[in-house]
Amino acid sequence: MFRILDKQVLSPVIKQMVIEAPLVARKCQAGQFIILRIHEEGERIPLTIADFDREKGTITLVFQEVGKTTIQLGSLEAGDSIRDFVGPLGTPSHIEKFGTVICVGGGVGVAPVFPIARALKEAGNHVIGIMGSRTRELMFWEDKMREVCHELFVTTDDGSYVRKGFVTDVLKEVIEERGKDNIAMVLAIGPQPMMRACCNLTREYGIKTVVSLNSLMVDGTGMCGCCRVTVGGRTRFVCVDGPEFDGHEVDFAELARRSATFRVEEQRAMEHHQCRCGQGCGGGR
Amino acid sequence: MTESKTPKKQIIPNKHPMPHQDPVERAKNFNEVALGYDEETAVAEAQRCLQCKKQPCRQGCPVEVFIPDFIKLVAERDFAGAIKKIKEKNALPAVCGRVCPQENQCEKYCTLGKKHEPVAIGRLERFCADWELAQGVLPQETAPATGFKVAVVGSGPAGLTCAADLAKLGHRVTIFEALHVAGGVLMYGIPEFRLPKRVVQAEIENLKKLGVEIITNAVVGKFATVDELMEEEGFDAVFVGTGAGLPIFMNIPGENSCGVYSANEFLTRTNLMKAYLFPDWDTPIKVGRKVAVLGGGNVAMDAARTALRLGAEESWIVYRRSEKELPARHEEVENAKEEGVKFAFLTSPTQIFADDNGWVKGMECLRYELGEPDDSGRRRPVPIPGSEFTMDVDTVVVAIGQTPNPLVPRTTRGLELGRKGNIVADPETGATSKPGVYAGGDVVTGAATVILAMGAGRIAARSIHDYLMNKKAQS
Ligand SMILES: Cc1cc2nc3c(=O)[nH]c(=O)nc-3n(C[C@H](O)[C@H](O)[C@H](O)COP(=O)(O)OP(=O)(O)OC[C@H]3O[C@@H](n4cnc5c(N)ncnc54)[C@H](O)[C@@H]3O)c2cc1C
Ligand SMILES: Cc1cc2nc3c(=O)[nH]c(=O)nc-3n(C[C@H](O)[C@H](O)[C@H](O)COP(=O)(O)OP(=O)(O)OC[C@H]3O[C@@H](n4cnc5c(N)ncnc54)[C@H](O)[C@@H]3O)c2cc1C
Ligand code: SF4
Ligand code: SF4
Ligand code: FES
Ligand SMILES: [Mg+2]
């Protein structure tokens, strides 16, 4: 069992949890993820390691409640336990001194961007952060991002905070202003359409762009092939070959189709969950 | 003894039939298909054995179970003695009695089998093991603690056997398992209806009683490497039994469509994650109306039969060669046929078509004919030009084989690897090229059988013990 030491509600649908998992904390690096299973009948879901404390042996997760499992996870409190927690999984981010890098986090994607931005800064890069969310209420970790970015741009789709616009709008402005040759790399993590849009933009400028893919997963160790995705015309497994890939090579359309494989069942799982737990866990939102 | 030498023993030509769940019923549930012998049937079957002096049956068993001896005890109704006899050689009889390919092993060499049906050795082995499980297994003796620590990576039959043997020799054993339950393929691959998970878990409970510690959710190569286990965590030796878990795909167009699963994914969702109990259990699975399973081995049979149980109207085995070459166990092919699985022999897909949402809507195949024998001695299937046709399917399960997972091989310093990424280990000892590191099971041989993995775990345990005792003598 893995104990939840702390829980923060970052927005009505975004929660942060600190989990006691010393074996994972000891070795994990930026860009890696864990897979957890809440209870015996639960499914295995992947979540990115958003932060870690090697000394305390803890892992910080930030997740958005989108369906049965994340809602149920969000209903747990500090002191509760999670049945299974495995990691660190996936290949760590490739960190070296590139020069100026832009780290773009969309929505809950800000959480996985954070440790990578921090590692890039520590490696001597000039880190420009761009973070965006649909609306002010969903914005979190601005302070933490400010600590690990030399410059930080914030935007909301609806203009309810700082400015109105998508992260791609800001990205374009920054690239235009600095000049494409002065940007060594872009890292973009967030919802699939956002990553795709960032890649379409940077492709025009010829700037190398890394994305972190969120395919369906089961085991997370290369055993099932459920996470496969086409990158550069080749089939790759996101859980072991990724989750980071060259965004210009990713077949996003295929990824989107495969991600939707169980849409109907996911809906059913939610309904089943709500009718079993009533209002108790906030299933209805 | 004089008694059993009576020259004119009455020969009963056929095995006592195994009671089975009715095929129509069972194709709709996940309960065990073969129900097992009762005491009377077991004793009667045991009496068929001729107690041959030369014991040819034993030579067919990879771990040389004392077959005539245990069968004699069954005939005498000494079931406790019989299971004890079996366990001297086989640590997982409840499993092997169910899933061993007996027709190619022990039973193939049975004297009775020359003219009649062989003695049902596997069924008798299963009977004894089930009898013991029903009684509650007695704790086994362990040698005094040696003070040595051994890490076992992977909890399939190879790892479980190695761990049990080492624990009995007095070593402190820790198993590291990547998944959330121990058992390897026995838990995630072989379906409930062929190998009930309670049987596997009972074996694992026995192991815990021997003092073996099992740490699940622990991926070696990720939370720690084999080198770190030895250098930082103080393990004196390591056994690697990580299996052959990496699925092979066909590499044909359309293979990443929705509704195309590897057999591993299909079976893991169903067995390990219990998707057949969805939505009470959370993990979903989706099978359509018509399922095509590519391949002809045990894995393919399991997938095809699982598909029917998940509600498919039609479940097809699509196999490149002919029925004669099917690598699956004969009994399982028969079971599959009885349940309504259909077979498309001499057929192989060339591409998978998807609808606008990316879901499988058909599969283009080529027909084959058998040509000259290839390296394996089997006649090589050759495509018939222009024989393309489309199979109307909406789900495809790829079951054409697995290779070893590269995680441990790639992260361990100084480990010699074979051409297919398998770990090279001495078959006599299990020793790898790295001192103190031993390996066995599918990670060494490629996908094989439970009993071979078990045998390899046993051999390695013996060598690890010798290695540690040597180390002690030298220090
Ligand atoms: C490597 C990786 C890292 C991730 N990190 C984070 C993170 O830090 N924070 C966060 O909020 N989300 C993260 N996700 C996404 C998260 O795993 C899904 O939101 C979660 O699994 C949804 O489960 P559910 O039951 O709540 O929702 P469901 O209603 O079951 O599913 C909603 C959607 O989530 C996706 N999903 C469902 N099941 C799985 C699964 N087993 N594996 C992967 N995706 C699934 C599907 O696209 C699905 O349509 C990550 C995904 C991956 C692959
Ligand atoms: C569907 C199916 C049906 C089969 N049917 C039969 C049958 O009827 N009869 C028969 O004899 N054989 C059958 N087999 C084959 C048989 O199951 C295998 O040969 C046998 O299980 C191999 O045992 P193993 O111990 O080498 O590996 P496995 O059983 O594969 O176990 C390996 C274990 O190691 C774990 N692992 C992998 N990597 C790591 C890591 N880095 N860190 C920690 N743990 C790790 C895995 O999660 C797994 O639990 C079947 C196989 C399948 C897939
Ligand atoms: S272990 Fe397998 S091969 Fe050996 S006697 Fe038992 S069933 Fe036969
Ligand atoms: S070969 Fe057959 S008949 Fe002879 S001892 Fe073995 S099981 Fe009995
Ligand atoms: S999640 Fe199973 S192979 Fe990647
Ligand atoms: Mg879900």
Q: Quick one: pLDDT at residue B3?
A: 47
Task: Say which residues have a Cβ less than 8 Å from residue A280's Cβ, sequence separation at least 6.
Answer: A75
The number of residues in chain A equals: 285
pLDDT tens, A78-132?
999 999 999 999 999 999 999 999 999 999 999 999 999 999 999 999 999 999 9
Fold of A2-89: Elongation Factor Tu (Ef-tu); domain 3 (2.40.30)
Mean pLDDT for B43-49 is 95
- Residue B273 and residue A218: Cβ atoms within 8 Å? yes
Q: How far is the C-alpha of B273 from the C-alpha of A18, rounded, in Å? A: 26
Q: Among A188-192, A273-277, A280-284, where is mean pLDDT lowest?
A: A280-284
> Is pLDDT above 90 for A280?
no
> Is pLDDT above 60 for A162?
yes
Query: Does residue A162 line the site of ligand 5, with CB under 6 A?
Result: no
Instruction: Name the strand (E) or helix (H) holding B373.
Output: strand B360-373
Q: How far is the C-alpha of B137 from the C-alpha of B186, rounded, in Å? A: 20
Q: Among B137-146, B334-343, B400-409, B466-475, where is mean pLDDT lowest?
A: B137-146
Q: Quick one: pLDDT at residue B462?
A: 95
Fold of B246-398: FAD/NAD(P)-binding domain (3.50.50)
CATH code assigned to A100-259: 3.40.50.80
Percentage of chain B beyond pLDDT 70 is 98
Q: Where are the domains of chain B?
A: 23-135, 149-245+404-474, 246-398
> Which among A44, A68, A221 is the nearest to B405, CB-wise?
A221
pLDDT tens, B307-364?
999 999 999 999 999 999 999 988 899 999 999 999 999 999 999 999 999 999 999 9
Q: Pairing state of beta strands A84-89 and A14-20?
A: unpaired
Confidence of residue B151 (pLDDT cuts 50, 70, 90): very high
> Is pLDDT above 60 for A199?
yes
Q: How far is the C-alpha of B452 from the C-alpha of A268, rounded, in Å? A: 43
Two tokens at A138?
């969903």
Instruction: Name the strand (E) or helix (H) holding B455.
Output: helix B450-474
Confidence of residue A278 (pLDDT cuts 50, 70, 90): low
Do the annotations mark residue A103 as ligand-binding?
A: no
| Residues of A engaging B, defined by a Cβ cutoff of 8 Å | 23-24, 26-27, 37, 41-44, 68-69, 83-89, 218-219, 221-226, 228-230, 235, 240, 254, 257-258, 260-262, 264-266, 268-269, 272-273
Which of B63, B104, B195, B458 for mutating ligand 3's site (highest number of atoms within 8 Å of CB)?
Answer: B63
Q: Global pTM?
A: 0.94
Query: Does residue A47 line the site of ligand 1, with CB under 6 A?
Result: yes
> Is pLDDT above 70 for B7?
no
Confidence of residue B8 (pLDDT cuts 50, 70, 90): low
pLDDT tens, A46-89?
999 999 999 999 999 999 999 999 999 999 999 999 999 999 99
Q: Quick one: pLDDT at residue B474?
A: 84
Tokens 């003796």 found at: B141
Q: Is-contact B112 B118, C-beta < 8 A?
A: yes
**Which residues contact ligand 2 via a Cβ below 6 A?**
B 99-101, 153-159, 176-179, 184-185, 189-190, 219-221, 241-243, 245, 267, 298-299, 302, 329, 405, 407-408, 441-443, 447-451, 453
One-letter amino acid at B244 equals A
| Sign for the pseudo-dihedral over CA of B106, B111, B114, B117 | negative
CA atoms within 13 A on the CB side of A99: 10
Fold of B23-135: Fumarate Reductase Iron-sulfur Protein; Chain B, domain 2 (1.10.1060)
CA atoms within 13 A on the CB side of B128: 34
> Is pLDDT above 50 for A282?
no
Q: Quick one: pLDDT at residue B9?
A: 66
Do the annotations mark residue A62 as ligand-binding?
A: yes
Which of B298, B412, B445 for mutating ligand 2's site (highest number of atoms within 8 Å of CB)?
Answer: B298
Question: Would B23-135 and B246-398 be classified into the same CATH topology?
Answer: no
Question: Would A2-89 and A100-259 be classified into the same CATH topology?
Answer: no
Tokens 């420009």 found at: A128
Mean pLDDT for A252-277 is 88
Q: Is-contact B257 B354, C-beta < 8 A?
A: yes
Mean pLDDT for B190-209 is 92
Q: How far is CA A194 from CA A130, A229, B10, B329, B445, in A?
A: 13, 18, 79, 50, 45
Q: How far is the C-alpha of B301 from the C-alpha of B188, rounded, in Å? A: 15
Contacts of B273 in chain A (CB under 8 A): 43-44, 218
Contacts of A68 in chain B (CB under 8 A): 282
Instruction: Name the strand (E) or helix (H) holding B162.
Output: helix B157-168
pLDDT tens, A83-92?
999 999 999 9
- Residue B268 and residue A218: Cβ atoms within 8 Å? yes
Cβ atoms within 10 A of the Cβ of A178, count? Answer: 14
- At the fourth CATH level, the homologous superfamily of domain B149-245+404-474 is FAD/NAD(P)-binding domain (3.50.50.60)
Contacts of A41 in chain B (CB under 8 A): 274, 277, 280-282
Question: How many angstroms separate the alpha carbon of residue B135 from the centre of ligand 2?
Answer: 28
Q: Where are the domains of chain A?
A: 2-89, 100-259
Contacts of B189 in chain A (CB under 8 A): none
Q: Quick one: pLDDT at residue B281?
A: 94
Q: How far is the C-alpha of B392 from the C-alpha of A122, rounded, in Å? A: 56
pLDDT tens, B66-80?
999 999 999 999 999
> Is pLDDT above 70 for A174?
yes
| A91 burial type by CB count under 10 A (0-12 exposed, 13-18 middle, 19+ buried) | middle
Quote the minimal CA–CA distance from A19 to chain B in Å: 15
**Mean model confidence pLDDT for chain B:** 93
Confidence of residue B136 (pLDDT cuts 50, 70, 90): confident
Q: Among A242-256, B272-286, B333-347, B373-387, where is mean pLDDT lowest?
A: B373-387
Quote the minimal CA–CA distance from B258 to chain A in Å: 6
Do the annotations mark residue A227 as ligand-binding?
A: yes
Cis, bond preceding B385 (omega within 30 deg of 0)? no
Mean pLDDT for B83-92 is 91
* Residue B220: DSSP 8-state: B
